[in-house]
Amino acid sequence: MKFQTTDPAANPTAILYKRCTIDLRSGDMSFADIPCRNLEDVLGGFGRSFQDLAEREIENAYCEENPLIVNTGLLTGSSVMTGMRTYFSGYSPIKGSKAGLPAAMWSTGSGRFGAKFKWTGLDELIFENRSEKPVYVVITETDAGPQVALKPAEHLFGLSTHDKIMALQKGYADAHFAVIGQAGENWQNNYMGAVALSTENQLKEHEDKSRFAGRGGMGSLMGYKNILALVAQSSDKFKPLSEAIKQVNLNVIKGGGSARIQPLSRGGGGGTWAAYDVLQEFHAVPVNNFRPQGNDIPEQLFRENVEKEYNIKSQACYRCGITCHNNISEKNADGSKGEFLAKFDYEPLNLFSTNIGIHDAGQAARLIQLGDNYGMDAISLGVTISYALSYNERHPEKTILNGATFGDYEKIRELIIQAGEGTLPEIGQGSMRLSQRLNETSYAYHVKGLEIAAYQPETNPGYIWAIAGGHMSMGTYGLLTREGKSDLESWVRGITEDKLHIVGFDMIGLCKFFDITKGIGTQMVVDCLKSELDLDVSTDDIRAAVRRAFLRGLALELRQGYTKAEFCLPAEVSENPNQNIKLPNITSREFIEKLEKRVWEIFEPELEGLFD
């Protein structure tokens, strides 16, 4: 980026980002330095890409006019802890309105690809049209600036995400990779393709430890465009740590934002897995397609029980001190670490174990690993499978697919393989389409066509207004369980003010664990921008930019044909309230109607004129 001002809020056009646009049909490419329109453009990520998507009228995700936008955030590749994010944006094949129009979507992940991409000198890559043959794209840093090349990729076709990365690593030193798996290659029948991002641990240890930009089928869109991989090749460009950044990074490690994510051995909470113990106290751990039974079944996946049979090791992303994830491996007879199985984060763990009736950690880990290697979004895949299992449980006389039921590991594994290989569109196209085809939509756990995260909807009516999936674009998932808020005012304020700010992390290039409760409108971020980029910006300016970006997302949903009736939770939640959940009922029809009225009264006036 080029900075010709220190005041990005007042003079955004004096900040320019470098964009490369590639016409995949002709192979033509052009580079341009684009002046920022506003602070959202400066911050980057979906704050910028959604403004570009809004300029296009797209009726089908799989059309040449639908771009795939790859970009980074202002602090991607900086010395600020967690500054590793890459963003993939486009109109989504899986998330769409009942009018048949695709929703605008972004997805993001860590790994080292984002920093390497930024260090080539490029800030944004836009793919137009589609290539006739499979290609991979190499972005290289040169003395003359970033160079981009399209290369034939037939040799990569059919490989898993991990195998693609391993194959590319042999040819590109000092590079990192963003790839799709077979699911994305089979985009016609699989709308939930993810993009896998290589990690330092993966390249060193040759174990399948990718990070994923999973949500919304951006890997399927990449597959439609016939792009199998991106390679970013550059030298590392970390600045020496300033005192200000040292202090911020220390706060991130020790502060309230991430302390609970740190490993138990460092006095932390043991990663996101710890949510199991807490949610079980309320009988709010999703069981058998989001129907907790009020018993102790979820406890089999408590860490203390898994540790008896498996080796668990905490690991961090590159140069990050948070150590957020737990790697689970087989345990050898002597107690040492055996074969690596998978990374246990709360979402995939629950959705591939308790919520599909699997209570063995090893089986859950192997299912997670399988889905990851085929390159599918763990949330959409897990929830669509749990819907199918629930259908079969309700209709033992006329089951669908292979007749799999809750807990049937082998048959569930078969479903994942078939979906990944593109031979099972019933699963690959997501729960909304499957439930509509079967005419049983009430227990399909999606909102606006995108499957919900592993938090019971009974605990989170905020899902209704999330613009890019459950918990990552509306931080209300703990408002009832964690904060005990069950009154209307708290929920109106949470949705319309405080909790929407979680999306700021999907603009600036940082992971949400940087400061999950406060967002990016904080003095810590102000200090980082000053120290790293000599930018003077206030917390109020940042918060205003994040709010505008969120509202654009909401406005785009309405423009893509969503009616207000589609802003709703799965019907089962209110039609058949789950009495086992030990929390106040905040999803009754009456409560939701009042909440809808109040929230729209606040949002609607602000939506007017956003695209003028």
Summarize as ranges the residues that interact with other proteins (CB under 8 A).
Answer: 254, 256, 259-261, 264, 267-272, 274-275, 277-279, 281, 324, 345-347, 453-455, 471, 477-478, 481-484, 512-513, 516, 582
* CB of 286 vs other proteins, minimal distance in Å: 12
* CB of 73 vs other proteins, minimal distance in Å: 18
Task: Using the minimum distance from each CB to other proteins, give the nearer residue, 424 or 500.
Answer: 500
Strands (DSSP E) found in 345-475: 446-447, 450-451
CA dihedral of 111, 112, 114, 115, whole degrees rounded to 10: 150
* DSSP H helix total and E strand total for the chain: 22, 18
* CB of 108 vs other proteins, minimal distance in Å: 13
Task: Using the minimum distance from each CB to other proteins, give the nearer residue, 483 or 497.
Answer: 483
Task: Using the minimum distance from each CB to other proteins, give the nearer residue, 405 or 522.
Answer: 522
Strands (DSSP E) found in 120-180: 124-128, 135-140, 147-152, 175-179
* CB of 479 vs other proteins, minimal distance in Å: 11
Task: Using the minimum distance from each CB to other proteins, give the nearer residue, 140 or 490.
Answer: 490
Coil, strand or helix: which one is 210? coil
Coil, strand or helix: which one is 577? coil
Task: Using the minimum distance from each CB to other proteins, give the nearer residue, 150 or 278.
Answer: 278
Residue reference for tokens 């740590």: 241
Cα 161 from Cα 194, distance rounded (Å):
9
Cα 248 from Cα 526, distance rounded (Å):
10
Q: Are strands 124-128 and 15-23 parallel, antiparallel or unpaired?
A: parallel
Give the burial string for 383-415 (b: 16+ CB within 10 Å, else e).
Answer: bbbbbbbbbbeeeeeebebeebbbebbeebeeb
Residue reference for tokens 């439609």: 224
Task: Using the minimum distance from each CB to other proteins, give the nearer residue, 346 or 591.
Answer: 346
Cα 348 from Cα 369, distance rounded (Å):
10
* CB of 561 vs other proteins, minimal distance in Å: 30
CA 477, chain centre distance (Å)? 15
Task: Using the minimum distance from each CB to other proteins, give the nearer residue, 455 or 567.
Answer: 455
* CB of 157 vs other proteins, minimal distance in Å: 32
* CB of 427 vs other proteins, minimal distance in Å: 24
Task: Using the minimum distance from each CB to other proteins, give the nearer residue, 194 or 274.
Answer: 274
Task: Using the minimum distance from each CB to other proteins, give the nearer residue, 118 or 485.
Answer: 485
* CB of 373 vs other proteins, minimal distance in Å: 20
CB 138 within 8 A of CB 148: yes
Beta bridge partners of 314: 326
Q: What are phi and psi of 532, to 5 degrees?
A: -80, -35
Q: Which amino acid is at 356?
A: I
Task: Using the minimum distance from each CB to other proteins, give the nearer residue, 403 or 484.
Answer: 484
Q: How many residues does the chain have?
A: 612
* CB of 314 vs other proteins, minimal distance in Å: 13
Cα 427 from Cα 114, distance rounded (Å):
30
Task: For helices 431-438 and 378-394, give the axis angle rounded to 10 degrees.
Answer: 20
* CB of 118 vs other proteins, minimal distance in Å: 23
